[in-house]
Chain A
Amino acid sequence: MLFWSVLLRFGQRLGTLPIFPFTVVLLLALPVAVVGSAALDPSLEIWSHLWQTMLPELIRNTLLLLAGVGLGTFVIGVGLAWLIAAYRFPGRSVLEWLLVLPMAVPTYIQGFVYMATFDYAGPVQSLLRQWFGGSLWFPEIRSGAGAIVVMILVLYPYVYLLAKAGFREQSGSALEAARVLGYSHAVIFFRIVLPLARPSIVAGVALAIMEALADFATVRFFNFPTLSDGVIRIWHGMMDLRAASELAGLLACFALFILLLEQGMRRRSRYFQPGGKTPGIAPVRLAGWKGWAASLACSLVVTAAFFLPVSQLAHWGWQEAGRMGADAMFVYARLAVNSLLLAGLAAAFATAVALFLSSRTRIHSSKAARLLAKLATTGYAIPGAVMAVGILLPLSALDHTINNFLEAWFGITVGLIFTGTLVGLIYAYVARFLAVTYSSIDASMNKITSNITETAKILGRSNWRIMWRIHFPLVSTGVLAGAILVFVDVMKELPITIMLRPFGYDTLAVWVWQMAAESLWAGAALPALAIVLVGLLPVIILLRAETGKITAWSRED
């Protein structure tokens, strides 16, 4: 509250000058611009060196990863969504939400658990060797295929959720019309249902691919270096800022390409999902063995993607808790406090900026305002490694300038006030996750019609009062949901935290990464479990929102 009143007073001073929103947007777009300029001004020397050493492998692996994850999440996500949306079978209503749970598991946690379980030294292969002898063939886990499978297992819910919504939105009468015209269920699925849900499915696959592109920890566990991993390797290993930023520029191009592809494929979406008055697909009952096969398929996915890794973590965690001393508990507590502090701060700032931008685009409903908001929220498409490089370069330059200036003129040494503290970290989180909270707030802002805003304006209220008294109270639920989503994303975020954290500032995610990299599974288990548990929060919010929608819909009916 205090924060708001300060911001409000600050805003009133500024009056109606558009300086403030422009500054906000510029700050958010800065990292992208920095990396972009690095990409636009390539150094031949660096590129020829990169090309000779690691670049071909990085590019090949990245492309394979994106293709594999894209295809896998598409098949599994769409398949499960269709089963759930179009059929009734034993346990469907429970499985419908259980299938979302893997979203709570970050890729790197799923990655290390799977590797620990299925690697040569892991329990599965050991047991198999015990039974069948040492010569037994087992697929190589530390490979691209392993990384792809692990990522599919946690990223398919994006496609599943969006495809399911896409299927449900379809007008039932179009499907009935196709049936009456003499087509079977299967033909209707491929010729009507799938094309109509395309925009939703494309959005889901794009989200999954962007996650895969941003990941560096899982691919490193599986010894399958991609561009994200490359940026961080150069950064940490060689401390070569220039080369890291050039590679980050290439990574940004990949992200931009995915974004453009997604936008291009969704262009006609406005017309594709009419969401007619008629209820959507009426689920058909799968009788006998077919029904049981469907519930078995869904259960297998949930077990492999969620229950198996979580129970493995719980097992390790139990062992760890048994032998844990007071000093270890203190370490865990410090990790938790660090994580919560960072996530809380980032969520608060991101929410403030998103509220401001969203309200602003409504008061000044100009094209420019909307463009600004769009620009400010492209961060979600920017891989964490790119964001970190893009922020570190200008901030460290600024730090050194200020430091040198103060030392030379006043003889004071302030140290690195941006990169040496949490400021840079929070800045990067806000820039990266602003879109998450913005879209949540903006969706609830859509409930505010322009007539409401105009009525308030005609009554002679200032812009700040309209924002404060009219818009904010109406969007409180969306604000809360958005803040929680950012909070959880920051808890899970690894590349930005690794690259921008002040020296020695460990969080739960960093700890999990460090322990897992040393194959100390038990040490990673408890913080990993904590991250998964917090990660369940947005899943619960999501489910509540969905069931809310469903009850509202049936009431309307």
Chain B
Amino acid sequence: MSAQINSCEVINNSDYLVLHKVSKSFGQTDAVTDLTINVSKGEFFSLLGPSGCGKTTTLRLIAGLDKPDEGIITIGEEVVADAGRWVAPEKRGIGIVFQDYALFPHMTVFKNVAFALRECGKNELKSRVTELLSLVGLDGLSGRYPHELSGGQKQRVALIRSLANSPKVILLDEPFSSLDADLRSELRAETKRIMKERGTTTILVTHDQEEAFSVSDRIGILNHGVLEQAGSPAEIYHKPKSRFVADFVGKADFIPVKLQDGKVFSPIGTFISNGLEDSLTGEAQLMVRPEDVHFEPDTEGDAVITTVSFLGASILYTLRLASGITIHAIRTSAIPIACGTRVNVTAEICHVVVLPGPG
């Protein structure tokens, strides 16, 4: 997982795209409830969540393909949807890339891209399409039909078609999901580069946390139509505000702990939490990520390895502590340790995350 914080990218114009208390239901089902999101100009923002969490609905609400029941949506300075106002999708100045690319099958690559450029002279049209094609390395393919393109090429055409009009916001609806793994990471990096170079505000919808981490400035985690948390990839990973977020973006164990005087007492050590108020006492849950857990074989150790899963570069071990609690630990696979070995467990936790209440 390549979480990187782009602290150098100072974002001035905050609140370029705003969803304020937006709700949308389809019949009995609430797709999105009371959703508030602020995205800055030029920001790459991802909506992450399991299928059916409302992320695609959110995207369609921004695009104007669906109308919100309640709430306000603004793009740039303009209110595009509220109780009295409604701007049609064709007037919002946005670009969208669908999962199936939605290329027009009866048009060549050139015509597909040119379709997006309306008020344009013939010569200018030609030069702009050519420029866009070379942006994604598709020079020379302008005469091909969509069925003559590979998946990656189709995705690139869809991307430049959505960019052609220099839209205020680009919406990407799982655009990488039907590509194979190598191509996916290549296209992700390319898409991110293009968006950053052009300073385009981008919203990506995905269910793949690795994808969200690798491209986003910020991520919003959606669950059952509610925004659980929004923040930088590192914040989301290291400081999840709920068990759902912690579980969704990576492997995490929650072990019962006692709180006292701002300290966390756990079976694998005592930790000091900065954010924790001293007054908070009693039972709680401590988040432990597998990479925070260390263990050494020790015949006298009070924990035991119960399963060993070989993952390639690393091995994921399941450990049963003396108290009967199981936690996971990850170690390099160079020196494997057998199942059933007795071990001593310690933990080194930089970001202490404690959720209130017993498990």
Contact = CB atoms under 8 A, between A and B. Distances in A.
Interface of A: 171, 173-174, 176-184, 191-192, 195-196, 198, 268, 271-274, 276-278
A177 B158 CA distance: 9
A195 B106 CA distance: 7
A276 B146 CA distance: 14
Interface in B147-172: 147, 158, 161-162, 165
A171 B65 CA distance: 15
Contacts of A177: 96, 98, 102, 158, 161-162
Interface stretch (B86-94, B228-236, B243-251, B327-335): B86-94
A272 B102 contact: no
Contact of B100 (A180, A192, A198, A278): A278
Contacts of B102: 171, 173-174, 176-177
Contacts of B106: 195-196, 198, 268, 271-272
B: interface residue count bin: 20 to 34
B310 interface: no
Given A179-B90, A181-B90, 11 more contacts: A176-B89, A178-B104, A179-B65, A179-B89, A180-B65, A180-B96, A181-B95, A181-B116, A182-B91, A196-B105, A278-B98
B157 to A, nearest CB: 11
Interface of B: 63-65, 88-92, 94-96, 98-100, 102-106, 115-116, 118, 145-147, 158, 161-162, 165
Contacts of A174: 102-105
A-B pairs with lowest CB-CB distance, top 9: A173-B102, A177-B102, A173-B98, A271-B147, A174-B102, A182-B90, A195-B106, A180-B96, A181-B116
Contact of A180 (B63, B99, B103, B145): B63
Nearest to B100: A276
A290 B204 CA distance: 38
A308 B106 CA distance: 41
Main secondary structure of the interface of A (DSSP, over half): helix
Contacts of B147: 271
A176 B158 CA distance: 13
B52 to A, nearest CB: 13
Contacts of B100: 171, 173, 276-278
A140 B106 CA distance: 44
Contacts of B91: 182
A192 B107 CA distance: 9
Nearest to B111: A191
Contacts of B103: 174
* Central interface residue in B64, B98, B118, B165, by most chain A CB within 10 Å: B98
B98 A271 contact: no
A194 to B, nearest CB: 10
A277 B178 CA distance: 13
B165 A176 contact: no
A415 to B, nearest CB: 59
